[in-house]
Structure 1
Amino acid sequence: MSLYTYVVRYDSGFAPNPFYGFCTLATCKPKIRRYAKVGDWLLGSGSGDKKIGRAGYLVYAMRVSEALSFDEYDVDPRFRQKKPYRTGSRKQSCGDSIYFRKISPGPWSQRDSFHSLPDGSANPKHIGRDTSVNRVLVSDHFIYFGGTGPSVPTSLKDELGRRIVHSSVGQSRFDDAHLLEEFECWVRSLGDMGYRGPPYEWLHLRRSNVTT
C-alpha cells in the first residue's frame, strides 16, 4: 500500500469531486492517476498561496476502491450525476465526468466544464493533459473537508523525516508501513467518513451565474 500526497491548488469541488457518495479524481495529476492502485491512499492538502493560506491543512483523503477508464466512467450509471451541468447548482457545475468518445477508439470530446474554454468549447491543452492517462480513480471510503479541514500533524513523517504534506506545489509517494499505519489511525480519528465541508472556493468566491 502507498500514500500519494499533493497540494490541491484549486479546491473547487472539481478535482477531486467529492459528491454523490463517491470521491473521484478524473482530471489533473496524471502521474498519480497512472500509478495509484486499489487500496492506496491519496491525500490532498491546502494551497500555501498567500491569498489562501491553507498550507498543511487537510482538504481530503481517499482510499482508492477502483480505477476506471474514461469510457467506463462515462457510461456507469453510478456516476451519471457527475456529468457537469454548468448552469445548475455549484455541485452540478463542477462535475468531473467530462470526457467521452463517440466512437472508441477515437478522439476525445470534452463537456462544458471547469476545464473548458470560457465560452464552453473544448480546451485542447486540458484534453491533452487529462487524457494522457486514461484512468479515473474512485473511492467509496474518503473524507473531504474542503476549506475547513484540520491541520495535518507534523508528526506524520517517513523514516527520512519527510513530512507527508507540501508547503507549495509538488507531490510525493510514501511506502513506509509504519507511517501508513499512523496515517490511517489519524484519518479514523477525524470522525465519520464522507463529505464534511464545502470546497475552499465555495467559501471564499462568489459566481453570479451559479447558485448554491
Structure 2
Amino acid sequence: MKYYSYIIPRDYGFAPNPYFGYSTLATCKPIIRKSAQIGDWIAGYGRSGSKVHRKLVALMKVDEILTFDQYWDDARFKKKRPVFNRAIFCMYGDNIYHHIEEEWTQELSHHSMTDGSINYANLNRDTQTDKVLVAIQFYYFGNNAIEIPKEFDFLIGSGRNHRIYRDEEKINKFVTYISENYEVGIHGLPYSRKSGKFAHYRGK
C-alpha cells in the first residue's frame, strides 16, 4: 500500500470528480494514474496562495482501475459524462475520453476547446496513461478543506510533483483518523469553481 500526495492547483470537481457515488481520477496526473494500484491512497491538498493551502481537499482509496474505453462504456459511470443542461457539477463530468475506431476522441468538457473541438494539449497529456482510478471510499472536502494534525504534516504534498509514502503503519494511522472523524462522501464545493460559471482549461 502506498500514499500518493499532490497539490490540486485547480479544483472544479473534475480531477478528482467526487460525484454520483464514486470519486474518480480520469484526467491529469498521468504518472499517478500509471503507477497507483488497488488499495493505494491518493490525497490532494490546496495550492499555495489559496484559502485551502496545505489543507486536505480530497482523499480516495483506489478500489478499481479501468481503461478509458471501459470507463466510457460502463453503465455506472454514464452520469459522469459531461451534460450541459443540468446542474453545473454535471458539466464537469470527467468521462470524456474514448476511441472511435482507432482514434482517441475528447467530448465537450472542461478539457476541450470552448467550441467543443479537441484540445490536443489536454488529450495528449491525459491519454498518455490509459487508466482511470475509481474509489468507493473517499472524502472530498473542496472549499471546506481540513487542516490535518501536525503529526501527519509529512504527508502534505508540495510543488508540482507528487510524493509517495510507503510506511503502511503511518498511512493506516492517518486513514483511521480521517475515517473516525468524517463520513465517506462529499463535504464541500470545489474551491476553484465560480458559482454558475463554467470554465475550460486550455492546458497551458
Q: Same fold (TM over 0.5)?
A: yes
- Decide which moves more: 14-23 or 116-125: 116-125
Match of 2:188 among 176, 197, 207: 197
Measure the CA separation in 2 of the matches of 1:208 and 1:143.
25
Residue of structure 1 equivalent to 2:116:
120
Give 5+ residue unaligned stretches, structure 1. 158-162
Give the AA of the match of 1:10: R
Aligned positions of 1:10-89 closer than 5 A = 10-48=10-48, 50=49, 52-89=50-87
| Identity percentage of aligned residues | 36
Check whether the contact 2:88–2:196 (CA below 8 A) recurs between aligned residues. Answer: no
Q: Does 1:152 align with 2:122?
A: no
Give the AA of the match of 1:184: V
Check whether the contact 2:88–2:198 (CA below 8 A) recurs between aligned residues. Answer: no
Give the AA of the match of 1:71: D
Residue of structure 1 equivalent to 2:164:
173
TM-score (norm 1): 0.89
TM-score (norm 2): 0.92
Give the AA of the match of 1:23: S
Aligned length: 199
Give 5+ residue unaligned stretches, structure 2. 200-204
Alpha carbon RMSD of aligned pairs, Å?
A: 1.6
Measure the CA separation in 1 of the matches of 2:138 and 2:130.
22
Give the AA of the match of 2:73: V
Moved over 6 A (4+): none
Residue of structure 2 equivalent to 1:136:
132
| Distance change >3 Å, CA 57–CA 209, structure 1 → 2 | closer
Q: Deviations over 1:2-56 (max 9, x none)?
A: 00010111110000000000000000000100011000000011111x2x23221
Q: Does 1:5 align with 2:5?
A: yes
Measure the CA separation in 2 of the matches of 1:24 and 1:89.
19
